[in-house]
């Protein structure tokens, strides 16, 4: 049985829009893009939530 998540990520629409715009910018480093994508993947307020393992695999972490 899986342990409950210690931290729950629930982004507002504005926060989600900001993270997506950071990812799209050409001068954003790969590390920051990866971190933003992980936060979006784990967001429970919008769309499908990935597990930590799924998010890590899809982002190459």
Q: What is the mean pLDDT of residues 5-27?
A: 92
Residue 23 phi/psi, 5-degree rounding, is -65, -40
Residue 8 placed within a domain: no
Between these two residues, 58 and 25, which has the higher pLDDT value?
A: 25
* Calculated CA dihedral for residues 29, 35, 36, 39, nearest 10 degrees: 180
Return mean pLDDT, the chain.
Answer: 87
Asked if the model's pLDDT at residue 2 lies above 80, the reply is no
Q: Per the domain annotation, does 21 fall within a domain?
A: yes
Measured from the Cβ of residue 5, the count of other Cβ atoms closer than 10 Å reads 12
List helix spans (H) across 1-61.
13-24, 30-41, 52-58
Domain that holds residue 40: 13-58
Predicted pLDDT at 36: 95
Looking at the whole model, is its pTM more than 0.85?
Answer: no
Distance CA 14, CA 2 (A): 31
* 3 found inside a domain: no
Q: What is the pLDDT of residue 46?
A: 82
The domain total for the chain is 1
């Amino acid at each position: 049985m899986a342990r409950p998540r210690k931290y729950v990520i629930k982004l507002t629409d504005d926060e989600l829009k900001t993270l997506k715009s950071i990812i799209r910018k050409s001068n954003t480093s790969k590390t920051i893009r990866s971190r933003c994508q992980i936060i979006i993947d784990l967001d429970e307020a919008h769309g499908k939530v990935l597990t930590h393992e799924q998010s890590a695999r899809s982002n190459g972490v």
